[in-house]
Amino acid sequence: MTAGGGGSGGTALACGPMTRPNNSPACGAELCGNGMRDSCVGSGGIDGYPGGGGGIGGAANGGHGGVGIIFSEECDGADFFRPSCQAFGYASGTLSCNANCTFDLSGCEQCVGSQPSLPFCGRPSIAAFNLGFLALAATPTEIGLAWAGIDAVGVNGLYFTRLTPDLSLVSSFLVEPSVALYGELSVAPLPSGWVIAASEVNSLTLYPIAADGRSVGKTTIPKQSSPPQKPLLAARPGAGPVVVWMDDALRAAVVAADGLSITPSIVLPFGGPPNQHEVDAAFVGGAVHVVSPVDMGNVRPLQIVRILPDGSGASLVGGPSGTFLRLPALVAGAPNLDMVFSSRELGIDKLIWQRFDGAGSAVGPSAELGSFHNLQIVASVASGDNAAVLVPEEVDAITLMKLTLMGVQGASPQPGFTFAHMADHTPRLARRGSELIAAWVGSGGGCTSSRISIARLTP
C-alpha cells in the first residue's frame, strides 16, 4: 500500500514479527458490533490483550487490574470517537474500525495526498521493522539505505538496502548481526560501492559495501576517551568520503576509495568547544567543510573548518556570528560555500540561507526561509546554485512534525510544500539527478513497530 502520488515503490509488506495480537472486545461480543460505542464495567489490566476484563482490560497483561473499572469501545462500526487519521498524527488516509471495536490504522499514511511535486511517497518494499537508526545516500543510478533494526523473520542487526531510482528493491543484506549502536549512522557512495559509518560503544566502525550490496569487511577506529558520536560521511566526487566524528575532540579522516582503510585522524581546529549534536559536514564549494556551533561565553557563533583533500590537515575558515546560532546545514554539492542555519530567539528559529567566501565572510544577500517553532534538525542539498532544504517542523503533540521541502534559487526563497508527517526520528535528504529523495523512520499501516518511509520529490 502506498500513499501520495502512488509511484512504483512496490507492494507494502505485512508487519513481520511485530504483528499486534488480535485483542478481545472491550465490552464483549454482545455489545461490539451494534454500531454504537458502548461503555461497560469490568476488571482486568490495560492494553486490550485477552483474558480478564476484555479488550482494554486484560489479566494476561498483569497490571492495573481491579473490579469496577469502566471500559469503553474505541469505535463500533461507523461510530468513532476520533473522526480521522489526522487525529492520530497521520497526514492522510482512511480510519476504520476493527471487528473487535478497536481503531484500525492500516489505512492511515504519513504522506500528504497526491501532488505534482511528489511522484511517490509511502513505504518501500523493505522488510525493516523496529528501526532505531537510518541513513540515506544516492548516486545517479541507485539509492542506498543503511538501517539498524530487525528483518521479516526477526533477525536484529545492521542492514544495507539498495533501491532503483523508482524505489523498487534491488537487494537487502545483513551487514553485521546484533550490532550495538551508540549514535547515528551515516552512508556515502564510493567510486564503486558504498561505505557505512556506525558509532558503537567502544569504536567507530566503517563497513565498506561492494557494488552488489554485500559487505566486504570493516575498519575499526578505537575510541579515544569516550564513545564516538555523530559519525558523518561527506561524499566526494570520484573519491572516498571524509569521515567526521566526535570523541575526545571533533576528528576527521579520509576514507580510501575502496572503503577498507582511512588516513590518520586529525583534530579539527575550532576556536572553542564544538556542539557535538549539531555538527554538519559536506563537500561544498569544492572541498569538504565541517561546521558547528561553538559556545563562547555569551555568544554562540557558527565556525567553519576546511579539510585538505589528503586529510593531513584542516584550517579554520570563519563563519557567521550571532547570539544563538544553531542547526547548520551545509548545502552539499553546491559550487559555492552555501549554508542554511537558524538564529534562535525566545524559542523561535529563524531559518536563513547564506553564501560565504573562502574566509567565512557572507557574500551577497541572505534569504530568510521563515520562522519555526523548536526546530530539531535541518537538511540541505544542492543542484548547481539551487538549494533544497528539508525542514521537520514541530506542530503539536498530536501531529508531531510535518516535513516541508523548501528551495532557494540564487538568494531568492522558493515556495515550499509539506509532503508528510512524522514522529521524532531524524529525516534524511539526498539528491539523485533532478530528483530529491527523502527518507525517515515512520509507523502506521497496521504495524505497531517503526518502519522506513521514503519520498521522491521534484522541487
3-state secondary structure of 366: strand
Residue with cell 487525529: 87
- Cα 306 to Cα 315: distance, rounded to the nearest angstrom: 5
Q: Quick check: 143 and 437 in contact, CB under 8 A? A: yes
Confirm whether 225 is domain-assigned. Answer: no
Tell me the three cell numbers of residue 285: 564549494
Residue 316 pairs with which residues in a beta bridge?
305
Kindly report the pTM of this predicted structure. Answer: 0.85
CA atoms within 13 Å, Cβ hemisphere of 241: 29
Q: Is residue 66 part of a domain?
A: yes
The alpha helices in 340-434, defined as continuous H runs, are: none
- 110 falls within a domain: no
373 burial class (0-12, 13-18, 19+ CB within 10 angstroms)?
Answer: exposed
Distance CA 381, CA 135 (A): 15
User: For residue 394, how far is the Cα from the chain centroid?
Assistant: 14
Question: What grid cell was written down for 40?
Answer: 461497560
In a domain, 91, yes or no: yes
The pLDDT of residue 91: 83
Tell me the pLDDT tens digit for each residue of 341-370: 999 888 789 999 999 998 889 999 999 999
- The candidate with the shortest Cα–Cα distance to 307, out of 257, 236, 204, is 236
Beta carbons within 10 angstroms of residue 450's beta carbon: 21
Q: Which residue has the cell 548545502?
A: 331
Q: Which domain holds residue 35?
A: 24-101
Give the C-alpha separation, 290 to 316, whole Å: 10
Q: What is the pLDDT of residue 296?
A: 85
Half-sphere exposure of 321 (CA within 13 A, CB side): 6
DSSP single-letter state for residue 159: E
pLDDT at 11: 38
At 142, list the grid cell: 541507485
Q: Do residues 55 and 24 lie in contact, with contact meaning Cβ atoms separated by under 8 Å?
A: yes
191 within 8 A of 211, measured Cβ to Cβ: no
CB 420 within 8 A of CB 440: yes
Name the DSSP letter for residue 61.
G
Residue 49 is assigned to a structural domain of this protein: yes
The pLDDT of residue 53: 33
Alpha-carbon distance of 214 to 189, in angstroms, equals 14
Quote the pLDDT of residue 399: 53
Would you say 380 and 392 are in contact if contact means Cβ atoms under 8 Å apart?
no
Q: Is the Cα torsion angle 205, 206, 208, 209 positive or negative in sign?
A: positive
- Write 406-411 long-range contacts (CB < 8 A, 24+): 406/369, 406/370, 407/459, 408/340, 408/353, 408/367, 408/369, 409/385, 410/385, 411/353, 411/355, 411/364, 411/365, 411/366, 411/367
Is 131 in a helix, a strand, or coil? strand
Collapsed DSSP state (helix, strand, coil) of residue 38: coil
**pLDDT lower than 70: segments of the chain:** 1-23, 42-69, 82, 396-400, 424, 443-449
3 in Cβ contact with 122 (< 8 Å): yes
When divided into structural domains, the chain yields a total of 1
Is residue 47 within 8 A of residue 57, CB to CB? The reply is no
